[in-house]
Amino acid sequence: MGGDHGPAVVLAGAELSRKRYPEIRYVLHGEEKAVLPELAKHPRLKEESVFVPCEISITMDDKPSQALRHGRRVSGMWKALESVRTGDADVMVSAGNTGALMAMARFCLRMMPGIERPALAAIWPNTQGESIVLDVGATIGADAEALVDYALMGSAMSRALFDLRRPRVGLLNIGVEEVKGLEEIRTAGARLREINLPGMDYCGFVEGDDLGQGGVDVVVTEGFTGNIALKTAEGTAKQVGTYLREVMSRTLMARIGFLFAKQAFMRLRDKMDPRKVNGAVFLGLNGVVIKSHGGTDAEGFASAIDVGHNMIRNGLQDKIAADLEKTRFGDEETAGDA
């Protein structure tokens, strides 16, 4: 029921992802009058899915507190999260209200042991391929311990999604020098060097322009800065696309030149297409929850489902739990030595 276009886009996206991964089965939560007419347009999807009706839907304008008060137990968002908690589903995907989803997910699924604050991790295209950036908006502000947790979870996600043995991790800062930045960032950097996990290669501080260069596989920051960076990147991609369209249509020679270079421009468009990297992961919960962009189309929603499928297939939760256990074990050893 979430997003700008509701069940039509969600179901069309589910169909696309199902074709790519035939093993996927869906439990669909929503209002019967809105979902069933759209579901009838996808006979195969209807045949292989379970539909669970809900009494109400969380709107994009609902505050998190309102969503919890009125939507708990009866909304499609809550029921979908509950299906993950009970094991009836492996992953929950939603294009709905981000704040409400975060509040409900924390209340329904709870946090993993050792994690105090969740993080929203996004896939970020760069010149080397793709990287993970977190937090991009789950919580505002973060102390050193939270930044270390984000680094551990982002590293685990990178191993699960990109099949990397030892992902390179950097802390986003105003400079690469160790003396720069807020105390929380400097303390987190020192802590990451100290724990030196075998499944993570901490590379130090990175700057904003490194996000697009791909110098590291995981970029760690707090939610306020991360969300601004994400929205800035999306706006820049749209700006560049607008400039290209204007230039290519300005004169006859430009249009002829576009025809000769059409394949190159198509490849550029694909690289800059935000739909291909849609689907941010709420990390730190006792369950996998994927947040799709609310304004995406069917292809974009399918990408979000693909991310969830890959997180489950590659054992994201187990990787995060193992890294957390290693850091706790390391702390106990240090305390024992002392």
**What is the tens place of the pLDDT at every residue in 141-186?**
889 999 999 999 999 888 888 888 899 999 999 888 888 888 999 9
User: Does the pLDDT of residue 32 top 90, yes or no?
Assistant: yes
**Within-domain flag for 47:** no
**Within-domain flag for 241:** yes
User: Does the pLDDT of residue 73 top 60, yes or no?
Assistant: yes
**Within-domain flag for 277:** yes
The CA distance from 18 to 153, in Å, is 27
Question: Average pLDDT in the 179-196 region?
Answer: 89
What pLDDT sits at residue 268?
62
The pair phi, psi for residue 196, each rounded to 5°, is 45, 60
Reduced to 3 states (helix: H, G, I; strand: E, B; else coil), residue 214 is coil
| pLDDT tens per residue across span 200-235 | 899 999 998 888 888 899 999 998 888 888 888 777
Domain of residue 190, CATH code = 3.40.718.10
Query: Is the CB of residue 200 less than 8 Å from the CB of residue 166?
Result: yes
What pLDDT sits at residue 322?
81
Chain centre to alpha carbon of residue 89 = 18
Question: Average pLDDT in the 33-44 region?
Answer: 94
Token reading at 182: 């807020």
Rg of the chain in Å (alpha carbons): 21
**Within-domain flag for 172:** yes
Mean pLDDT of the chain: 85
Reduced to 3 states (helix: H, G, I; strand: E, B; else coil), residue 314 is coil
Question: Average pLDDT in the 307-334 region?
Answer: 75
What pLDDT sits at residue 278?
81
* 62 — pLDDT class (breaks 50, 70, 90): confident
Number of domains in the chain: 1
**Within-domain flag for 83:** no
**Within-domain flag for 203:** yes
User: Does the pLDDT of residue 248 top 60, yes or no?
Assistant: yes
User: Does the pLDDT of residue 337 top 60, yes or no?
Assistant: no
Query: Is the CB of residue 28 less than 8 Å from the CB of residue 52?
Result: yes
Pairing of strands 288-291, 280-283: antiparallel
**Within-domain flag for 7:** no
Q: Which residues pair with 200 in a beta bridge?
A: none
Query: Is the CB of residue 78 less than 8 Å from the CB of residue 55?
Result: no
Q: Which pTM value belongs to this model?
A: 0.82
- Average the pLDDT over each of 39-48, 61-70, 79-88, 259-268 and give the range with the smallest value: 259-268
The CA distance from 16 to 37, in Å, is 18
* 264 — pLDDT class (breaks 50, 70, 90): low
DSSP-derived secondary structure for 249-307: TSSHHHHHHHHHTHHHHHHHHHHH-GGGG--EEEESBSSEEEE--TT--HHHHHHHHHH
Domain range for 187 is: 115-286
- Spatial neighbors of 296 by CB under 8 A, at least 6 apart, are 3, 9, 95, 274, 275, 278, 303, 304
**Within-domain flag for 170:** yes
